[in-house]
Structure 1
Amino acid sequence: MSSPNAPLDLTIDGGALTARLVDFPSVSGDEQPLADAVEAALRAHPHLTVDRFGNNVVARTTLGRAERVLIAGHLDTVPIADNLPSYVEGDLLYGCGTSDMKSGVAVALRLAATLPEPNRDLTFVFYDCEEIEASRNGLGRLAAAHPEWLAADFAVLMEPSGATVEGGCQGTLRADVKLTGTRAHSARSWLGDNAIHKAVEVLRRLSEYQPRRVEIDGLEYREGLNATRIDGGVAGNVIPDECVVHVNFRFAPDRTVEEAADHVREVFAGFDVDVTDSAAGALPGLAQPAARDFLAAVGGKPRAKFGWTDVARFSALGVPAVNYGPGDPNLAHKRDEHCSLTAIAETEARLRAWLG
C-alpha cells in the first residue's frame, strides 16, 4: 500500500493509478488529502489551468477549440469495509472505490495529464461528497458558486457503467402517504379506527400499479413506484391512530419533478400525500452533435441509466451528458468491490482516440 503522502504520478498506467487512488482513503467528508494531491499533480502540467473550490478541483485547457468537453468524477467513496489496501487477482483490481469510481477518476486524470493538445478544449472536474446527502455534493456547490467553470458543449460523467454509454438518468421522488384513525385500547377496538388497516388500500394501488415505459433518443426508460417502508403502531395493546407508507417514484426524464409529484398524488387520490424529497432526471441528449460523435468513437449500444446520477446537474445547466466509466455499477459499495484492468485500459483508449 502506497503512502497517502506520496505525490500522485499521473503518467503511470491506468490500472496502477487506480490502485494508487484506491490506497488513498477518501471516505465522504475526508477528501481533502486526496483533493490536495490531485491539485498538486495537475498543477505540474503547464497546459492546464487549475482552480480549487473547497475540496473540488477543476482543470482546463484553453486552446480556443470550437467545442468544449467536460469530464467529471467524484473523489469520495463509501465507508471502508475492510477492503483496503487494494490487491490484484488476474485481471481484477479489488478495493474500496475501484468501481465507484476511482477507476474512472484515474482515466480522467491520465487524460488530463497526457493530452496537452486535444482536438477539443477539455474541462476536468474532480469533486467531493457525492456519496452522501445532496446538500453537500461538491458538483452541486460548484454549479451554484461557479457555473462558468462547468460551461461545456457536452459532458462525460465517469460513473461506473461497465464501459457502456448510459444516457441521462431517472428522476427520483420520495413521498409519505399519511393515514389517520382513532386511538383506542385493543380490548375495546370497536371504539377506535385502525390507521394501519387503512394501508391496505395504499398497498393495493401499489401492487396494481402499471409502471410506464418510455423511449427517449432510442433508449427505453422504465419507471417504478414502490413502498419502501411502513411506520405505524403505538404499543401491543393500542389501536394505532397513525400510519405512514413511504413510497419512492423513479420516473423517466421526460417528466419534471412537478409532473412526477402530480402523478403520485393522482395515484393516491383521497389520501394525504407529502412529497419529502425529489431530484429531476436528465435527458440523454444523444441527438446532440457532440454526443453522436462520442457514441461513434467509443462504440457499443447505449442504454438508459437506471438510477439518479450527477448528469442531472449538467442537464440543469443545459449541458447534455452521459455516464461512461470502466467500473461495474452492480459492484459499487460491495465489500468485494473490484474493477477489470482491461476495462480501465480500454475506456482510456477509446476516450483518447476520441479526444486526440
Structure 2
Amino acid sequence: MSPVQLPDLTTSDVVALTAAVCDIPSVSGEEGPLADAVEAALRSYAHLEVLRDGDTVVARTTLGRSRRVIMAGHLDTVPVQGNLPTERRRGADGQEELWGRGAVDMKGGVAVALQLAATLGAPRTDVTWVFYDNEEVAAELNGLGRVARRHPDWLAGDLAVLGEPTSGGIEGGCNGTLRADVRATGRTAHSARAWRGDNAVHAAGEILTRLNAYRPAEVDVDGLVYREGLSAVGIRGGIATNMVPDECVVTVNYRFAPSRSVQEAEAHVREVFDGFELSVTDLAGGARPGLTDPLVTEFVSAVTATTGGRPGPKYGWTDVARFAELGIPAVNFGPGDPALAHADDERCPTEQITGCARALGAWLGGDVQPAH
C-alpha cells in the first residue's frame, strides 16, 4: 500500500487542507500514517529543520531570532463514528461548515499550522511547529510529554500557542482533570438466595446519589471564571446473571479549576466519596490563564486586533498545562466550537479556519490589521 499524502501545503486552500488531514484517520495510537504524511510534506521546505520521535513530528526555523514561538497541535482524534470522510455543508445560518471527525478537535488547528509552517519562510520570530500523538488518552502516553522527557531542547521557547478549538477566540489556561474508580463492595450469593449476599451494584447507588447532589463550583482565577464538573463516565459490575455481585466500580471524572493543585483536587474527590474505596487512574493539573505575561499580552493584543473578542477560560484540559510546567506561557487559539469536540456531528465553520490562519499569519509575519 502506498503511503498517504497531503496536498501541497503552500498552494492548497486551508479548508481543503483541513479536510485532507481529517480524511486520514488517526485515532489515538494509530497516528502513524498521518505522522508520515506530515513529515514528508514538511521535509519539502528548506527553511525547516524536521525532527521526529515516534509519531510526533517537529519542524523548526533556525533564523537566529531573539524569540521563539511554539505552535503545537495533536494529530490524534477520538474514535470515528461514521463521520468520515468529511463533507462541506451549509449550516442553518447559511455559513459553510466542514463536517467530520477531527474538524473541531483539532485538525483545523493542525492544518492552519501546517500551511503557515510551509508559507512563512522568514517569520518575525523563530517558530517551532509541533504535531504530536496520543493527546486524547492517558497523560502518560501523550507525545508532547514524551518529547519533553526525551528531547527537552525541542520544546525550548518563549511562548506556546495550542491550536485547540476555541471558536476562533483566545482561551487562557485550562482546567485540570482527574479520573478515579470509586468501588462499592459486597458479598456474592446465588441470586435465588439473594438475602445471603450483599449486592455491590445496589450499594453503588449511594455513589450515584452523591454525584446527583453534587453542585460544581465556578471559580474566578486571575479574572477568568472556570466551571468545574464531577461526572460519572463509566460503571461496571456483575459476575453472572444468577449471581449477586460483590463489586461495582463507578468511574468518575473531575474537572477542576487551575487554582487547585492536583493534591487538593484528589483530596476533594476523596472527601466527596468518603466511605468508599477510591483509586486515582489519571491526574493532570490545570494551568492558570497567564494573560499578564508580556508575551501573552502582545499575542492577545495582536490577535484580537484581527479577530475581535476578548479572552475566555478553557474548560477542558489541554497541553497549555504541560507548557506551564516547563515554564513557558501558553494560550489556546484555534477554529471550532469546543462544545462540538468528540461529537458525532462534529463540524466547524470554514470561516473560523481561514480566520485563524489569517490572524496567526499576520502576527507571525508582523502584519497585523485591525478587525472590521
Q: TM-score, normalised by structure 1?
A: 0.88
Q: Within 5 A, what are the aligned runs for 1:20-35?
A: 20-35=20-35
Q: Which amino acid aligns with 1:129?
A: N
Equivalent-residue separation in structure 2 for 1:143 and 1:129 (angstroms): 14
Q: Which residue of 1 aligns with 2:86?
A: 86
Moved more, 199-208 or 13-22: 199-208
Amino acid at match of 1:244: V
Partner of 1:38: 38
Provide the secondary structure at the position in 1 that maps to 2:106: helix
- Written as runs of structure 1 = structure 2, the 5 A alignment for 1:1-356 is 4-5=4-5, 8-90=8-90, 91-184=96-189, 191-234=196-239, 239-299=244-304, 300-356=309-365
Structure 1 residues 180 and 67, CA gap change in structure 2 (3 angstroms): same
- Contact persistence 1:10–1:41 (CA under 8 A): no
Amino acid at match of 2:9: D
- C-alpha distance 293-273 of structure 1, shift in aligned 2 (>3 A): same
| Residue pair 2:28, 2:134 contacting (<8 A) in 1 also | yes
**Residue 64 of structure 2 aligns to which amino acid in structure 1?**
G
- After superposition, the Cα gap between the structure-2 partners of 1:124 and 1:204, relative to the gap in structure 1 and judged at 3 Å, is same
Pair 1:37–1:244, CA change in 2 (3 A)? closer
**1-side partners of 2:332 and 2:289: how far apart?**
9
CA contact (8 A) 2:50 2:57 kept: yes
User: Contact 2:103/2:336 (CA < 8 Å) preserved in 1?
Assistant: yes
SS in 2 for 1:99: coil
Distance in 2 between the 1:213 and 1:201 partners? 25
Cα shift readout 1:214-270 (whole Å, capped 9, x = no counterpart): 111211112222333444445566554433333221111122222211111222333
2:64–2:126 CA contact under 8 A, matched in 1: yes
What is the CA-CA distance between 1:138 and the residue it aligns to? 1.8
| C-alpha separation in 1, matches of 2:84 and 2:243 | 49
Aligned-partner SS, 1:105: helix
Per-residue CA deviations over 1:12-54 (Å, capped at 9, x if unaligned) read 3312222332333434334333323322332322222221222
Residues paired across the two proteins, number? 354
Mean CA deviation greater in 236-245 or 246-255: 236-245
Give the distance between the partners of 1:40 and 1:172, measured in 2 at CA: 35
Shift of residue 157 of structure 1? 0.8
Determine helix, strand or coil for the equivalent of 2:105: helix
2: CA distance, partners of 1:221 / 1:318: 22
Deviation at residue 186 of structure 1 after TM alignment = 5.8
**Aligned residue identity for 1:149:** W
Q: Which amino acid aligns with 1:339?
A: C
| In structure 1, C-alpha distance between the alignment counterparts of 2:82 and 2:215, rounded to whole Å | 42
Cα distance, 1:196 vs structure 2: 4.1
The 3 A distance-change label for structure 1 pair 341 and 183 is closer
Q: TM-score, normalised by structure 2?
A: 0.85
Pairwise CA RMSD: 2.6
Structure 1: gaps (5+ residues): none
Q: Do the aligned partners of residues 64 and 269 (structure 1) sit closer, same or farther apart at CA in structure 2, a change above 3 Å counting?
A: same
SS at match of 1:98: coil
Residue 336 to residue 133, structure 1, CA distance change in 2 (3 Å): same
Q: How many angstroms does 1:6 deviate by?
A: 6.1
2:236 touches 2:250 (CA, 8 Å); kept in 1?
Answer: yes
Of stretches 179-188 and 110-119 in structure 1, the one that deviates more from structure 2 is 179-188
Distance 1:132 1:203, change over 3 A: closer
CA contact (8 A) 2:236 2:248 kept: yes
Runs of 4+ deviating beyond 6 Å: none
Q: 1:339 to 1:254 in 2, by over 3 A?
A: same
Q: Distance in 1 between matches of 2:287 and 2:339?
A: 21
Distance 1:192 1:30 in 2: 45
Gaps of 5+ in 2: 91-95, 366-372
Report deviation, 1:133. Answer: 4.0
Are the structure 2 counterparts of residues 193 and 81 from structure 1 closer, same or farther at C-alpha, using a change threshold of 3 Å? closer
